[in-house]
Amino acid sequence: AMPLLATLLASLLSSAAATALPLAGLRSLVVGGGPSGLLLAHRLLDAGGSVSLLEGRPDPRTPGYLEGRAYALGLGLRGRAAIRTADEALWQAVAANGFPSDRFTLHIGPRLKVDLRTPDDSNAEPSILIYQSDLCAALLDEMLRRHGESGRLATAFGARVTSCDPLSGSVTYQDEGGEER
C-alpha cells in the first residue's frame, strides 16, 4: 500500500511543486498511524498542510510496545522509493533503525533451501529489515522533529473514531481516557 500511496501523492503534489507550500491552509485528518498514514502525514506537512493524526494503538515509541505483537518487514526497492518521496533524510532516519540485508534464503523444510537473493546478484542497495513498530517510531520521531513545533501537527494515540460526517467534515473519536472528542 505504501508505494501506491507515495505514487498518488507524488502525482498530486508534483503539479504544485513550484510553490513553496502548495497545501498551506489545508487541514486534514489522517486516521491510522501505521507506515502509510505516517508517510501521508509527512507529505502533507512538508507541503504546508496541517495534520491531525489519530491512531487506535499506543504510541509505537512506548516501552514494551512489541509485547505480544511484532511484525518484521523487509523494505526493498518500492518501500525505499516510497519513503524517499518525502526526502533522502527521512529514508536515512528509517534505515538507521533497521538492519541491512543483501541475502534472502527460502527454507522449505529442513533439507531444501532456495537462495532468492545473494550478495552477488546485483549492486542494488540492500533491503532494510525492520519491525513495523520501529519503522513507525522512526517516521513519527522524524515528523515530530521537523513539524512538532509548527502548530500544524496534532497526534492522538489510543484514539478510536466513533463517527464521521463527510458532509460537515466532522469526526468524533474517543481518546485513550474514554473521553469523546
36-61 pLDDT per residue, tens: 999 999 999 999 999 999 999 999 99
Residue for grid cell 472528542: 181
Do the beta carbons of residue 174 and residue 160 sit within 8 Å? yes
What is the pLDDT at residue 116? Answer: 76
Do the beta carbons of residue 56 and residue 159 sit within 8 Å? yes
Do the beta carbons of residue 44 and residue 53 sit within 8 Å? no
Nearest C-alpha neighbor of 6 from the set 49, 51, 38, 54: 38
Q: Cβ–Cβ contacts within 10 Å for residue 66, how many?
A: 14
Strand 112-117 and strand 127-131: the pairing is unpaired
Amino acid at 176: E
**Mean pLDDT of all residues in the chain?**
88
Do the beta carbons of residue 10 and residue 20 sit within 8 Å? no
pTM, rounded to two decimals: 0.81
Read off the C-alpha cell for 95. Answer: 534505515
Query: How do the residues of the chain divide into helix, strand and coil, expressed in percent and rounded to 5?
Result: 30, 30, 40
Residue for grid cell 528509517: 94
Q: For the residues 125-142, what does the mean pLDDT come to?
A: 94
Query: What homologous superfamily is domain 2-61+69-174 in, according to CATH?
Result: FAD/NAD(P)-binding domain (3.50.50.60)
pLDDT at 100 over 70: yes
